[in-house]
Amino acid sequence: MPLLARMVACPLAVTVRSGAVAALPALLSDGRISAHGHVAVVVGPGQGEEIVAVVGPALENADIYTVEGGTLSAALELTDALRPGSYDAVVGIGGGRTLDVAKYAASLTGLPMVAVATNLAHDGIASPVASLEYDGRKGSYGVHIPIGVVVDLDYVRRCPPEQLRSGMGDALSNLNALADWELAARERGEAMDGLAAAFARSGAESLLHRTDDLGSDAFLTTLAEALVLSGLAMAVAGSSRPCSGACHEISHAIDALYPDQATHGEQVAVGALFASFLRDDELPHALDATFRRYAVPRLPSDLSLTDEQFAVAVARAPSTRPDRYTILEHLALGEEEIRDRVNSFVAAFDR
131 in Cβ contact with 273 (< 8 Å): no
CA gap 272, 250 in Å, rounded: 9
Q: In what order do the strands lie in the sheet with 148-152?
A: 13-17, 148-152, 113-117, 89-94, 39-43, 63-66
Kindly report, residue by residue over 98-132, the tens digit of the pLDDT. Answer: 999 999 999 999 999 999 999 999 898 999 999 99
176 and 112 housed in the same domain: no
pLDDT at 86: 87
61 burial via Cβ count (<10 Å: 0-12, 13-18, 19+): middle
234 and 123 housed in the same domain: no
212 found inside a domain: yes
Count structural domains, the chain: 2
pLDDT at 3: 61
CA gap 317, 331 in Å, rounded: 13
6 found inside a domain: no
Domain end point (choices 106, 141, 156)? 156
Buried b (16+ CB within 10 A) or exposed e, 69-80: ebbbebbbebbe
137 and 121 housed in the same domain: yes
Kindly report, residue by residue over 133-180, the tens digit of the pLDDT. Answer: 888 788 889 999 999 999 999 999 998 999 999 999 999 999 999 999
**Angle at CA 138, nearest 5°, toward 10 and 188?**
65
* CATH number for the domain harbouring residue 240: 1.20.1090.10
Diameter of the chain measured on Cα atoms? 63
Task: State which residues of the chain have pLDDT below 50.
Answer: none
CA gap 100, 89 in Å, rounded: 15
The dihedrals phi and psi of 229, each to the nearest 5 degrees, come to -65, -35
* CATH number for the domain harbouring residue 24: 3.40.50.1970
Strands 129-134 and 137-142, sheet pairing:
antiparallel
179 and 111 housed in the same domain: no
CA gap 243, 247 in Å, rounded: 9
236 and 125 housed in the same domain: no
235 in Cβ contact with 145 (< 8 Å): yes
Strands 129-134 and 113-117, sheet pairing:
unpaired
Boundaries of domain holding 68:
13-156
CA gap 320, 208 in Å, rounded: 28
Domain end point (choices 156, 186, 213)? 156
pLDDT at 91: 93
269 and 296 housed in the same domain: yes
- In angstroms, what CA-CA distances link 324 with 11, 72, 189, 241? 28, 24, 13, 8
CA gap 180, 268 in Å, rounded: 14
177 in Cβ contact with 197 (< 8 Å): no
pLDDT at 154: 93
234 and 287 housed in the same domain: yes
175 and 322 housed in the same domain: yes
pLDDT at 125: 92
The sign one gets for the Cα dihedral 335, 340, 343, 344 is negative
309 and 189 housed in the same domain: yes
